[in-house]
Amino acid sequence: MNEHRKECVEESRAWEKERAEKERIRLEKQSSEKYAWLKNKLKWLNKEPRAAFFFFFSLGINFQKSRSDSVVPKAENYADPLSAEALGTKSLKMAIDKTPVRQPEERATIGGITPDFDFNFHQEKSESDAQEILEVQETSEKNSLMKTTPSTQENLKEDINEIIKKLNVSRLNNKPANGVSFPHFAQYFTGVEDIPDYIIKTLSRFDIEKVIIFIKETKDAWVSVQEEFQQAFSWVDIKNEQQCIWVWNTMKDKGVCPPINPLNNFQRWHFICATFDLWQGWTNEQLDELTRGHKKISPQRLELKSSLCPPGKHKAVLMDELEKAWALKLFRKKKKEHQAVLKLPAKIKKKLTRLSEKYEISELDMMALLIESECVRNDL
């Protein structure tokens, strides 16, 4: 009987193992087919880097939104049932009270909702006296509990805001661009090299119906953005890392900070574009911060503040400000370089050219070196 039962158990285990193996093979096949389908469906992203990064950021934003929707918001007056407030007590802290009476005396006290109580002192009093003392202590305790931490924190926040205003320090720097933020998933998106492949592998883990909806909605959004700003950042040279870094930092100063840091300048440029493409424009608070302390406000920003404008209008203003600021930066640089050039006689100019060629440095550096060396020789 036992042998028969043992055989049945072994057969059952073998059947279960075989069933599990078949299910594993089926799932792997299904996953491979889904991956192959997605790879064919999204192969155009390999030829459209700007679109690929748009999908990449859209994926992060979608994850963030799904997480926010799944988290149940707390009620306004929510109190943790296990918190000190709900239980009617505070966390207890031990301390040494060194309050001098007639002679310095050390006694252990318990801080918190429990009042300081000298047990030896009350043993010498009558019951009525002790009750009177307890009532006084309870009143004092209630008054102290009215001074809650939130009010102190609010006052501190107000003080900090006043200090920031006086120092004229911007509160926009490093703030995520409106509508382009996925802090809880940034770690998974940072350090990715092959963007299209990452998108395909990520989508292949989800239900095909939801994936199809995501692809359709994201592609429609991309087409709309691309049609409105086909030549976005056309004045930026992707090979000029210094210029890309300047655009990156200037956008951060204007409250349009990209959500993650790039691996290289190629990613930096496309992160800039993806942030711009998905950006929903400045909020009213951000516009107030941008114009704070300015004697003159541009008509463009005044228009944004005075009426409810679509994101496209905000993008046009941002692009115009960035392009003009970069042009002004180049103009000032050329002006500075032009002022540094001295008019020299033709013979001296030729000699300076020979010297610069000999030492393989620019004429300006050669002139600076000669002047420096003469100053050292004469102790100037």
* Residue-wise pLDDT tens digits, 129-187: 545 555 545 554 444 433 444 455 556 555 555 554 555 556 787 788 999 999 999 99
Specify whether the CB–CB gap between 140 and 245 falls below 8 A. no
Region of 46 on the Ramachandran plot (φ > 0 left; ψ -120 to 50 alpha; else beta): alpha
Q: What is the pLDDT, as a whole number, of residue 75?
A: 54
Which of 255, 249, 252 lies closest to 280 in space, CA to CA? Answer: 255
pTM beyond cutoff 0.85: no
Q: What is the pLDDT, as a whole number, of residue 326?
A: 95
Q: What is the pLDDT, as a whole number, of residue 153?
A: 54
Region of 264 on the Ramachandran plot (φ > 0 left; ψ -120 to 50 alpha; else beta): beta
Q: What is the pLDDT, as a whole number, of residue 31?
A: 84
- Please enumerate in sequence order all residues whose Cβ is within 8 A of that of 235, keeping only pairs 6 or more positions apart, or say none: 323, 326
Q: Which residues of 316-346 are buried (b: 16+ CB within 10 A; e: fewer)?
A: ebbbebbeeebeeeeeeeeeeeeeeeeeeee
- Please enumerate in sequence order all residues whose Cβ is within 8 A of that of 229, keeping only pairs 6 or more positions apart, or say none: 276, 277, 312, 315, 319
Distances (CA, A) of 290 to 274, 319, 324, 361: 22, 15, 17, 43
Average pLDDT (52-69) is: 93
Average pLDDT (74-103) is: 52
Q: Which helix (H) or strand (E) holds 107?
A: strand 107-111
Q: Tell me what percent of the residues of the chain surpass a pLDDT of 90.
A: 42
How far apart, in whole angstroms, are the C-alpha atoms of residue 198 and residue 1? 57
pLDDT at 315 over 80: yes
pLDDT at 88 over 60: no
Q: Between 311 and 90, whose confidence is greater?
A: 311
Q: Between 136 and 331, whose confidence is greater?
A: 331
pLDDT at 82 over 60: no
Average pLDDT (22-38) is: 86
Ranking 59-73, 159-173, 281-295, 365-379 by mean pLDDT, the lowest is 159-173
Q: Between 127 and 212, whose confidence is greater?
A: 212
Q: What is the pLDDT, as a whole number, of residue 320?
A: 95
Q: What is the pLDDT, as a whole number, of residue 143?
A: 42
Q: Tell me what percent of the residues of the chain surpass a pLDDT of 70.
A: 72
Question: Residue 185 forms beta bridges with which residues?
Answer: none
Could you report how far apart the first and last alpha carbons of the chain are, in Å? 111
